[in-house]
Structure 1
Amino acid sequence: MAPHTSVSAPTPSRAIRLRPEDDVAIAAVDLTAGTVADADGLTVRLRADVARGHKVALRDLGRGTPVLRYGQVIGFAGTDIAAGDHVHLHNLEYREFERAHEFAVDARKEEVLPVAEQATFQGYVRSDGKVGTRNFLGILTSVNCSATAAKQIAARLRYSGVLDDFPHVDGVVALTHGQGCGMAADGEGIDVLRRVMRGYLTHPNFAGFVVLGLGCEDNQIKALTDGGNLTLRPDLPVFASTIQEIGGTKKTVAAGIERLTEMLPVADRARRTTVPASELILGTNCGGSDSYSGITANPALGNAVDRLVRHGGTGIVGETPEIYGTEHMLVRRAARREVGEKLLERIDWWREYTAKNGGSMDNNPSPGNKAGGLTTILEKSLGAVAKGGTTTLADVVDYAAPVTGKGFVFMDTPGYDPVSVTGIVAGGANLVCFTTGRGSAFGCAPVPSLKLATNTPLYEHMTEDMDINAGGIIDGTTTVEELGEAIFERVLAVASGEPTKSEAMEYGEEEFVPWHIGTVM
C-alpha cells in the first residue's frame, strides 16, 4: 500500500481590503468563480469571476444597504448581494445621501522646515521672484482665428534649426484655443478665458511672448491690461499685434518669427540656480483612473504633496466633479470655516450647472474608469481626493486664479484633464504629476508633467509614456510612504531639468484647453 500523501489546500488569491469596516475588497489579480480570496485575513469564496481591480463582496448586503470602501459610502446595493459576488454596475447604484459638514475640526498648523533644512532644486529665478522649471518662448492667441498663424510661427522656428544655437531655451510653445469670439464681450465666459491668458503670460516658465489676435474679435488683446489687470515682469519681452494690423497671415508669420528670433539671445542668457523646494507649486491630476488609483498612485502622490508642504511648497488638487462626495472630508481639513464654505459653494454651483445642462454629478465615471473597476462617482472621488495628502486645506480658488498661498490648495476645475490642468498651470503650477490607471496620453507645455501608472501591467505595457510605476504597492515591493519619498525626489529632479516622457514626445500644446463657460453665439 502506498504511503499516505497529504495534499495542502490551495493558497487563496489576494484581494485588498482597505479598512476593517469595508464591505468590498479589490481583486489584486483576476479571480475565478469558486476560488477563495483572502482580503487581508478575511476569506471569501467567489460566486462569480472578478477581474483584476474589480470589487468582491465580503459579506451579504441586502438591497438598499450602503456599501463601504475606504470606510466611506461608495453607493448602495441595487439588489441583494451575497458574500463572494462581483460588485459593479449590475448591483451597485448611486444615490444622494446626507453628509455632515464639520468645518475645520481636523485643521492643524503645519510644521514647515526652516529654509536651511528644505530640499532644493535648480530653477530659473525671474525678476518678479517667481521660479520657473523650464525656459520657453510662447505664442498666445486671443482668438481661434489666429491659431493657424501661431502654429505656423512655432513650426517654422522649430524646423529652421535656429533653436539649436540657443541651448538654454527649451523651445517655442504655441498656445491656441477655440474661443475668443462668438461670445459675450463681458461676463463669466470671457473673464475665465482672460484669466487663463493672464496666468500663462505671467508664468515663470516663459522667457518671452508673442500675443496674437485677428483684430476684430470680442476678446481684444488690450483688455488683458486695461484696468491694471495684468502686470508683466520687467524681464519678459512681449510683442502683441493682430493679423489685420500687420497685413495678413504671411506677414504675420514673418513678423512673429522675426520677433521671437530677436528674443532668443535674451532668453538664452537665463541660468538655473539653487532654490528651496518652497518655490515649487505642484499641480496634480488624475485621468483614465482605475480602481487601483485610490490604492497606489494617488495616495503615494498625496504623500509626496505632504512632503512638499513640509518643505514649504504648494500642492494643488482640482477636478471638482471628481471630489464630489468627499467634500465632507475636505471641509474637516479646512484651515478656516470660510475655506470650507467656499468649497461647498463650488459644489452647489456644479450641481446647478449639471442639472441645467440635463446631466448629473454621477455622469462620471467614464467607460474606461468602469472597465478598470470604478462604479460610481463616489468611489472615484474617494480615490481621487487622496492626491491632496493629509495636510490642512489652506485655500479654495476659482479656475485659473493665481495660487498665492502655501500648503494644500483646491482649485475649482472640471474633471476633463486638458481643461483642468490648463487652469492649474494658469494658477501658477510649475510642475504637474498626472496619475493614470488606463493609460492617459498627456503633457502640459510649458510645464513638465510626470506620469504615474497605478499598476505594473500598465507601466510595462506603456513604458514609453509612464515615468513612475506605482504598481509596486500592490505587488508588495514598496509602500505608499516609500513611493511618496521617491516621487518627491523625482519631482525635484524634473524641476531641475530632467526631462519627462511626455516632454520627449512633445505633448503639451494641444492640451492647452481653457474652460469654455457660457453661450456660443
Structure 2
Amino acid sequence: MSMQGFLRADGRKGIRNYVAVAYLVECAHHVAREITYPYRDRAHVIGFPGCFPNEYAQKMMERLCTHPNVGAVLLVSLGCESFNRHKLEQVVRDSGRDVETLVIQRVGGTRSAIAKGLAFVEQALKTLQDTPNVEMELSDLVVGTVCGGSDGTSGISGNPAAGRAFDRLVQSGAACIFEETGELIGCEDIMAARAATPELGVELRHSVEKAARYYAELGYGSFASGNADGGLSTIEEKSMGAYAKSGASPISGLIKPGDIPPKGGLYLMDVVPDGPVRFGFPNISDNAEIVEMIASGAHMTLFVTGRGSVVGSAISPVIKIAANPDMYERLHEDMDVNAGRIITGDADIGEVGDEIFNLVANVAAGQPTKSEALGHAEFILTYKSFEPIGPSCLPV
C-alpha cells in the first residue's frame, strides 16, 4: 500500500498538515482556543497549563510542535509563566517550520492577541498549501494503541483484533507502540519472553514492577468502578485484556514519552514516572496516554473501548474500536470499527484485525476518522518526571 504524505525538513512524513496553536500556561488557553475556532478543522489547540517549569512538559511540547502532522506553530504565552518559550520557539524554527510567539501581556490583551493570532494562522494555512507531497509507505508510519472504558468484552474482541492489526503493521515495517504499564501487571513474564534480547526482557519486567510500586504507594490503581460494572473482576484480568492489543510480534524496545522509535517494530511505552510519587495518578485520562504516544511520533492511535468513549485527539487521528456489540449500537456514530461482531459470531479476530489494518492505511491516505469528522481534538498534558532510557532498552 502507498499513500501521499507531507514531507518535513527532517525527512519524516506526516499524514495531516495542521497548524498547532500552543498555549504555554493555562492563562493563555482561552486566547489560543479563540484563535483556532474559525479554523478548527485545520488548526488544533495544544498546551501545558502549569505555571512552573517541568523537563517532561518541555520535551513533550518540543516533540508535539515538531510532529510530522504539524506544519506550522503559533506559541501563545501570557508572558510571566516559567515555560521556556524561547527554547521551544528555537526548536520549532530549527525544524524548518514557520513559528511565531504571541505574548499576551505585550500585545495589548485578549482582543489584540486573538487578532494577531488569527492573522498568523490564516497566513500559515496559505503557506502550508505548498508543502511537498511525497510517496508514503506503511513502513513510514508510527501507530499507537490504547484501551479505555474497558469491560469484559475488551479483552476478547477489540484488543485481540487490534493486536492482529499490529502484527500486520509490524510485518509491513511500521513502528507500533503499546503502553499502560500499570495495566500490564501480571503480564511481565510473558512480555519478557517476547523481548528481542534478555537484557530488554529485564527492562520490561522492571517497568511493570515500577508501575506496581507506584500504584501501591499512591493507593490507587488502574482499575475503576466502571471496569467492574462492565464485568472485569481484577487488575490481572484487565491486564490480560490490555496485553492482547500488543499482538504477538517480538518486542523491539522500551521507550518513554517523547522517545521516537528508531525503526519499525513493536515498542512498549513506560508511562509511569520515575522516582517517588510526586504528581499523583500518572495518566488521569485516556487522552494523556494518547498525547504521550503522539509525542513519540504516532501518526494515529487505535483506541479500543468496551463501555464506550467519544474522544479523539489533537494533531493525530484516533480510530475508535468498539469491543462491545451493544455499545456499538448505541454509539455507532462515534465508532470506526465494530469488533463486537466477534462476540456475536459475525466475524473472527483475523477478519476484524484486517479491517483495522486496512482502515489504518485509509486514514493515513487522508480518510477522516469518526472523531475527526465530529471535530474532536481533545488534549491534556500534566506534570511528570522521567530518567533517560538505558542502552538495553533499544538493543541493536
CA RMSD of aligned residues (A): 1.9
Q: CA deviation at 1:407?
A: 0.5
- Partner AA of 1:192 in structure 2: Y
CA distance in 1, matches of 2:296, 2:261: 5
Give the match's secondary structure for 2:333. Answer: coil
2:357 alignment partner, one of 480, 488, 496: 488
Contact 1:202–1:232 (CA under 8 A) maintained in structure 2 = no
Match of 2:139 in 1: 278
Q: CA deviation at 1:272?
A: 4.6
Match of 2:269 in 1: 411
CA distance in 1, matches of 2:198, 2:116: 52
Higher relative contact order by CA 8 Å / sep ≥ 6: 1 or 2? 2
Contact 1:199–1:402 (CA under 8 A) maintained in structure 2 = no
1:86-130: CA deviation from partner (whole Å, max 9, x where unpaired): xxxxxxxxxxxxxxxxxxxxxxxxxxxxxxxxx323322222211
Match of 1:461 in 2: 330
Match of 1:333 in 2: 194
1:366 alignment partner, one of 211, 220, 224: 224
Match of 1:447 in 2: 316
TM-score, scaled to structure 1: 0.68
Contact 1:177–1:512 (CA under 8 A) maintained in structure 2 = no
Range with bigger deviation, 460-469 or 253-262: 253-262
Q: In the TM superposition, what are the counterparts of 1:9-408 in structure 2 within 5 Å?
A: 119-157=1-39, 170-179=41-50, 181=51, 183=52, 185=53, 190-224=54-88, 232-234=94-96, 236-270=97-131, 272-357=133-218, 359-360=219-220, 363-408=221-266
- Partner AA of 2:192 in structure 1: V
Q: Matched residue pairs, number?
A: 374
Q: CA deviation at 1:325?
A: 1.4
CA distance in 2, matches of 1:392, 1:376: 27
- Partner AA of 2:83 in structure 1: N
Structure 1 residues 222 and 346: alpha-carbon distance in aligned structure 2, compared to 1, 3 A threshold: farther
Range with bigger deviation, 345-354 or 236-245: 345-354
Structure 1 residues 403 and 232: alpha-carbon distance in aligned structure 2, compared to 1, 3 A threshold: farther
Contact 2:89–2:101 (CA under 8 A) maintained in structure 1 = no
Identity %: 36
CA distance in 1, matches of 2:35, 2:124: 14
Structure 1 residues 343 and 247: alpha-carbon distance in aligned structure 2, compared to 1, 3 A threshold: farther
Give the match's secondary structure for 2:150. Answer: coil
- Partner AA of 1:375 in structure 2: S
Give the match's secondary structure for 2:332. Answer: coil
CA distance in 2, matches of 1:271, 1:478: 41
Report which of the two has the higher share of helix.
2
Q: CA deviation at 1:422?
A: 0.7
Q: CA deviation at 1:150?
A: 0.5
Give the match's secondary structure for 2:167. Answer: helix
Structure 1 residues 401 and 245: alpha-carbon distance in aligned structure 2, compared to 1, 3 A threshold: farther
Contact 1:309–1:406 (CA under 8 A) maintained in structure 2 = yes
Give the match's secondary structure for 1:432. Answer: strand
Structure 1: runs of 5 or more not aligned = 1-118, 159-169
1:453-512: CA deviation from partner (whole Å, max 9, x where unpaired): 11221111111011110112122221111211111111100111111111111112xx31
CA distance in 2, matches of 1:473, 1:516: 39
Q: CA deviation at 1:275?
A: 1.4
Structure 1 residues 148 and 281: alpha-carbon distance in aligned structure 2, compared to 1, 3 A threshold: same
Match of 1:64 in 2: none
Structure with greater Cα Rg: 1
Give the match's secondary structure for 2:294. Answer: helix
CA distance in 2, matches of 1:364, 1:500: 28
Q: CA deviation at 1:451?
A: 0.5
Contact 1:324–1:377 (CA under 8 A) maintained in structure 2 = yes
CA distance in 2, matches of 1:279, 1:382: 30
CA distance in 2, matches of 1:503, 1:453: 17
2:380 is the counterpart of 1:513:
yes
CA distance in 2, matches of 1:132, 1:375: 41
Q: CA deviation at 1:157?
A: 4.5
Q: CA deviation at 1:377?
A: 0.7
Q: CA deviation at 1:299?
A: 0.8
CA distance in 2, matches of 1:255, 1:245: 12
CA distance in 2, matches of 1:232, 1:317: 30
Give the match's secondary structure for 2:5. Answer: strand
Contact 2:48–2:57 (CA under 8 A) maintained in structure 1 = no
1:14-51: CA deviation from partner (whole Å, max 9, x where unpaired): xxxxxxxxxxxxxxxxxxxxxxxxxxxxxxxxxxxxxx
Q: CA deviation at 1:431?
A: 1.1
Give the match's secondary structure for 1:444. Answer: coil
Contact 2:158–2:323 (CA under 8 A) maintained in structure 1 = yes
Contact 2:22–2:76 (CA under 8 A) maintained in structure 1 = yes
Q: CA deviation at 1:513?
A: 1.1
Structure 2: runs of 5 or more not aligned = 272-281, 386-396
Give the match's secondary structure for 1:514. Answer: coil
Contact 2:139–2:172 (CA under 8 A) maintained in structure 1 = yes
CA distance in 2, matches of 1:375, 1:262: 54
**4+ runs of 1 displaced by more than 6 Å?**
none
- Partner AA of 1:412 in structure 2: D
- Partner AA of 2:112 in structure 1: K
Contact 1:195–1:401 (CA under 8 A) maintained in structure 2 = no
CA distance in 1, matches of 2:63, 2:197: 26
- Partner AA of 1:197 in structure 2: M
TM-score, scaled to structure 2: 0.89
Contact 2:93–2:99 (CA under 8 A) maintained in structure 1 = no
Contact 2:49–2:382 (CA under 8 A) maintained in structure 1 = no
Give the match's secondary structure for 2:155. Answer: coil
